[in-house]
């Protein structure tokens, strides 16, 4: 049998954390009902805890405790527990068995001691108890400090410090123009904006051509119907409308058309006897 490992493995002492606040002293075993010992054991934070408490009863200074008498106390404590609940106390029994072994080793003649020696085992136990004792004491001192909410208090209703974050966006003139160029490059065909432009409608061309035809019986070139002084855009429109108007007048028998060759000048004149509109 070896020394119980120092935690975290399957061979751990394995006691349970007691969540209750008060530390039940040894006196708790003397409590009335059947569950007294069960409760008392549950009050300990495992066998090491119980050992530490027993050791404390021996002497104030943990360095001076007697492991042998500690073992005796532990074993007799468990012996006295007649109504021990085994499943709860398994860890305690493991510890008891180990301590019994340690005790017999310590008492045996020294000639054929195995390794590690019982003294080494005892030293380890000793060191562990010291460390646990030190931490328990430290915890007590820590809890006894001036604690916020118990001994000292913070401002009841602080106004609070506020940091308003303000984002300043950064973009340069170049980025802006570049972005527009990018958009244009990417998507220009998708946008068509129709602009107002000066045009000659078909109706006004009809009026104009037929009234001008009424003035003479001679052939006139279509080009002569263009409004004087019109700009290029209007001239284009007037040309197209006048051409359609000439076709319409010819269709309704009010004018006749002539063209000597392809792309040659288009001429038209009033049909004799036709009434101008």
Min dist. Cβ of residue 97 to other proteins (A): 16
Element spanning 126, H or E? helix 118-143
Smallest separation (angstroms) from other proteins to the CB of 226 = 19
Instruction: Give least dist CB 266 to other proteins, A.
Output: 25
Please identify, using beta-carbon distances, which residue of 148 and 275 lies nearer to other proteins: 148
Which lies closer to other proteins via its Cβ, residue 177 or residue 217?
Answer: 177
Residue the block writes with tokens 């006749």: 256
- The nearest distance, CB 264 to other proteins, in angstroms, is 26
Distance CA 98, CA 65 (A): 18
Query: To the nearest whole angstrom, how small is the minimum distance from the Cβ of residue 35 to other proteins?
Result: 20
Closest CA to 268 of 253, 257, 254: 257
Q: Which residues pair with 266 in a beta bridge?
A: 259
Distances (CA, A) of 145 to 139, 150, 151, 152, 156: 10, 10, 8, 10, 21
CA distance 253 to 258: 14
CB nearer to other proteins: give 49 or 255: 49
The smaller minimum CB distance to other proteins, of residues 48 and 222, is found at 48
Tokens representing residue 70 in the block: 């500690």
Contact 140, 23 (CB under 8 A): no
Give the CA distances from residue 29 to residues 35, 39, 86, 115, 223, in Å, rounded to whole numbers and listed in that order: 9, 8, 16, 38, 128
| Of 166 and 272, CB closest to other proteins | 166
């Amino acid at each position: 049998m070896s020394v119980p490992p120092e935690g975290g493995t399957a061979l751990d002492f394995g006691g349970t954390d007691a969540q209750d606040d008060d530390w039940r002293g040894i006196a708790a075993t003397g409590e009335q009902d059947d569950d007294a010992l069960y409760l008392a054991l549950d009050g300990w934070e495992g066998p090491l805890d119980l050992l530490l408490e027993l050791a404390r009863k021996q002497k104030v200074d943990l360095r001076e405790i007697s492991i042998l008498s500690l073992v005796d106390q532990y074993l007799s404590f468990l012996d006295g527990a007649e109504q021990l609940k085994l499943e709860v106390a398994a860890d305690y029994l493991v510890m008891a068995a180990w301590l019994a072994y340690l005790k017999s080793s310590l008492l045996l003649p020294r000639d054929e001691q195995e390794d590690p020696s019982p003294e080494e085992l005892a030293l380890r136990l000793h060191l562990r108890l010291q460390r646990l004792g030190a931490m328990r004491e430290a915890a007590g001192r820590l809890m006894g400090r001036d604690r916020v909410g118990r001994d000292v208090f913070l401002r009841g209703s602080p106004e609070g410090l506020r940091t308003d974050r303000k984002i300043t966006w950064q973009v340069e003139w170049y980025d802006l123009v570049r972005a527009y160029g990018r958009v244009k490059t990417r998507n220009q065909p998708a946008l068509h904006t129709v602009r107002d432009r000066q045009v000659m409608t078909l109706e006004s061309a009809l009026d104009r051509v037929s009234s001008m035809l009424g003035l003479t019986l001679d052939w006139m070139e279509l080009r002569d119907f263009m409004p004087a002084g019109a700009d290029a855009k209007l001239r284009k429109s007037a040309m197209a409308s006048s051409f359609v108007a000439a076709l319409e007048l010819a269709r309704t028998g009010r004018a006749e058309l002539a063209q000597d060759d392809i792309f040659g000048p288009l001429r038209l004149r009033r049909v004799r006897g036709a009434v101008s509109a």
